[in-house]
């Protein structure tokens, strides 16, 4: 049996009203087909109905205030709420209806299952959505292919990876323009794939008045702040979330910060090095105290400590708190980040040694695998979550159409 989507009904109603006001649009109202919900989406809708009656967790995160603005939960609502959820676990540990209660309310797990379906559904190209479900294999193949590619290039360009040469002379082994073209192409494709996917997601979940407001700037500012500070990993009270037990901890928030800002520092190091090369005509290798190297070192350390901490928390987290199918994706992405930072720091430390060419090929192969799999792995959760945070910020600035509940 198909679930009715109240947002689809609203779309149809708005189209009909628009046609009546504008005869040039035609006399027939635009018909929006009812989209059936999956078993996971139906389960989230069931649990949200129970939570909407209880509301004990209303102050924990953005999910529950957004929930109170709805009396029914269609496919678009469920996908939006699932991506707004940060899986902090506070609601699970506080819920009186959690298993073994007969209601079986487990919001973090139900939301996690829907998020995977969301990534798959909105993947671009659509056929690549299957990579999410076999992400462990995807990462393994991508990593192997990246390593083989650069080892082969070393043989093709140099007749093998040399053991002597100018210290730190990376471009003597792999020409700069070749690397820029290869990594630029893969990175731009990843941005395109993520951009198309999140645009389709936004189009489906931001129907109705959510996209019609003259107060977008404050909403964008709030959503940006919430994303950059990981506001909703504080448990709603500032003491943090639940990991292995009922105790609150800020560890997950802090490790996420180290991971994200470590990644951004490494990206900044690459951007500044590119500026040095093209705008200033200063080519690598750069001294240790130069901006690219210092930012790379700080970013690399962040990408060691942060992912290592997240992996530790992931291994400790109870299986009931999430979707077991996604563990290979979660851990594979963390491992790829660790390999990227470890190989990069090793390359920096040994760039004047005979091991440099081999370390360079290994590091480039790992980075290529990371870039190629960004749109089809755990990285996507940050992009979709930012879109959900923006919708939440816009939505709560609008007057509720309900006469019950609170924001």
With contact defined as beta carbons under 8 Å apart, do 283 and 176 qualify?
Answer: yes
Chain segment 320-375, per-residue pLDDT in tens: 888 888 898 999 999 999 999 999 999 999 988 888 889 999 999 999 999 999 99
Same domain for 310 and 254: yes
Per the listing, tokens 């105790």 go with 247
**CA distance to 92, 97, 211, per residue, from 396 (Å):** 24, 27, 12
Q: What are phi and psi of 324, to 5 degrees?
A: -60, -30
154-186 pLDDT tens trace: 888 777 777 665 666 788 888 888 999 999 999
Asked if the model's pLDDT at residue 28 lies above 70, the reply is no
User: Would residue 6 count as lying in a domain?
Assistant: no
Q: How many structural domains is the chain composed of? A: 2
Kindly state whether residues 177 and 284 are assigned to the same domain. Answer: yes
Q: Are residues 153 and 192 in the same domain?
A: yes
Q: Is residue 352 part of a domain?
A: yes
**Which of residues 94, 119, 144 is at a domain's end?**
119
Determine, yes or no, domain membership for 30: no
Same domain, 289 and 358: yes
Q: Are residues 114 and 156 in the same domain?
A: no
Mean pLDDT of 221-227: 94
Instruction: Identify whether residues 347 and 310 lie together within a single domain.
Output: yes
Is residue 20 a part of any domain in this protein? no
Q: Dump pLDDT digits (tens) for 185-194.
A: 999 999 999 9
Domain boundary among 55, 84, 119: 119
Which residues partner with 242 through β-bridges?
Answer: 248
Q: For residue 36, what pLDDT is reported?
A: 84
For residue 88, which of 253, 287, 298 has the smallest C-alpha distance? 253
Q: Is residue 404 part of a domain?
A: no
CA distances from 3 to 9, 35, 181, 207, 336 (A): 12, 8, 48, 18, 39
Angle at the Cα of 232 (from 204 to 3), degrees rounded to 5?
A: 35
Q: What is the pLDDT of residue 368?
A: 95
Are 52 and 173 within one domain? no
Q: 296 and 200 in one domain? A: yes
What is the pTM (predicted TM-score) of this model? 0.84
Q: Do 261 and 188 lie in a common domain?
A: yes
For 322, phi and psi rounded to 5 degrees?
Answer: -155, -170
For the stretch 1-26, pLDDT in tens is 444 444 444 444 444 444 434 444 44
Residues 287 and 357 in one domain: yes
Greater confidence (248 vs 6) lies with 248
Q: Which of 86, 119, 152 is the last residue of a domain?
A: 119
Antiparallel, parallel or unpaired: β 241-242 and 248-249:
antiparallel
Write out the chain in H/E/C secondary structure.
Answer: CCCCCHHHHHHHHHHHHHHHHCHHHCCCCCCCCCCCCCHHHHHHHHHHHHHHHHCCCCCCCCHHHHHCCCCCCCHHHHHHHHHHCCCCCHHHHHCCCCCCCCCCCCHHHHHHHHHHHHHHHCCCCHHHHHHHHCHHHHHHHHHHHHHHHHHHHHHHHHCCCCCCCCCCCHHHCCCHHHHHHHHHHHHHHHHHHHHHHHHHHHHHHCCHHHHCCCCHHHHHHHHHHHHHHCHHHCCCCCCCEECCCCCEECHHHHHHHHHHHHHHHHHHHHHHHHHHHHHHCCCCCCCCCCHHHHHHHHHHHHHHHHHHHHHHHHHHCCHHHCCHHHHHHHHHHHHHHHHHHHHHHHHHHCCCCCCHHHHHHHHHHHHHHHHHHHHHCCCHHHHHHHHHHHHHHHHCCCCCCCCCCCC
Which value, in Å, is the radius of gyration of the alpha carbons in the chain? 24
* Alpha carbon distance 237, 345 (integer Å): 38
Is the pLDDT reported for residue 144 higher than 80? yes
Residue range of the domain that includes 340: 125-206+233-397
Instruction: Examine the domain organization and report whether 249 and 164 are in the same domain.
Output: yes
Judge if 295 and 389 occupy the same domain: yes
Answer yes or no: is 219 within a domain.
no
Return the pLDDT at 405. Answer: 46
**Does any domain span residue 211?**
no
């Amino acid at each position: 049996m198909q679930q009715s989507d109240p947002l689809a009904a609203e779309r149809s109603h708005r189209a009909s009203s628009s046609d009546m006001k504008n005869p040039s649009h035609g006399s027939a109202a635009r018909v929006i087909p009812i989209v059936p919900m999956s078993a996971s989406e139906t389960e989230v809708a069931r649990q949200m109905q129970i939570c909407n009656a209880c509301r004990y967790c209303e102050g924990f995160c953005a999910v529950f205030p957004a929930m109170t603005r709805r009396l029914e939960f269609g496919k678009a609502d469920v996908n939006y709420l699932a991506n707004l959820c940060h899986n902090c676990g506070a609601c699970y540990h506080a819920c009186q209806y959690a298993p073994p209660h007969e209601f079986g309310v487990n919001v973090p797990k139900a939301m996690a299952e829907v998020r995977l379906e969301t990534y798959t559904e909105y993947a671009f190209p659509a056929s690549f959505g299957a990579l999410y479900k076999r992400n462990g294999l995807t990462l393994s193949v991508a990593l192997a292919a990246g390593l083989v590619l650069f080892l082969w290039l070393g043989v093709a360009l140099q007749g093998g990876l040399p053991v002597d040469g100018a210290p730190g002379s990376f471009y003597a082994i792999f020409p700069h323009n070749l690397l820029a073209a290869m990594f630029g192409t893969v990175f731009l494709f990843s941005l395109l794939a993520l951009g198309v996917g999140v645009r389709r997601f936004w189009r489906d979940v931001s129907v109705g008045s959510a996209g019609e407001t003259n107060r977008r700037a404050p909403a964008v500012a709030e959503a940006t702040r919430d994303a950059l500070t990981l506001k909703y990993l504080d448990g709603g009270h500032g003491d943090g979330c639940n990991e292995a037990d009922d105790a609150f901890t800020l560890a997950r928030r802090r490790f996420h910060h180290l991971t994200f800002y470590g990644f951004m520092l490494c990206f900044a190091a690459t951007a500044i090095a590119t500026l040095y090369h093209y705008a200033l005509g200063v080519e690598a290798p750069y001294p240790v105290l130069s901006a690219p190297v210092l930012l790379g070192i700080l970013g690399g350390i962040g990408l060691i400590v942060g992912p290592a901490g997240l992996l530790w928390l992931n291994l400790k987290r109870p299986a009931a708190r999430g979707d077991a199918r996604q563990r290979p994706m979660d851990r594979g992405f963390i491992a790829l980040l660790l390999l990227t930072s470890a190989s990069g720091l090793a390359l920096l430390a040994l760039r004047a040694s005979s091991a440099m060419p081999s370390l360079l090929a290994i590091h480039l192969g790992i980075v290529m695998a990371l870039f190629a799999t960004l749109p089809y792995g755990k990285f996507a959760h940050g992009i979709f979550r930012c879109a959900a945070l923006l919708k939440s910020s816009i939505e709560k600035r609008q007057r509720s159409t309900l006469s019950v509940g609170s924001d």
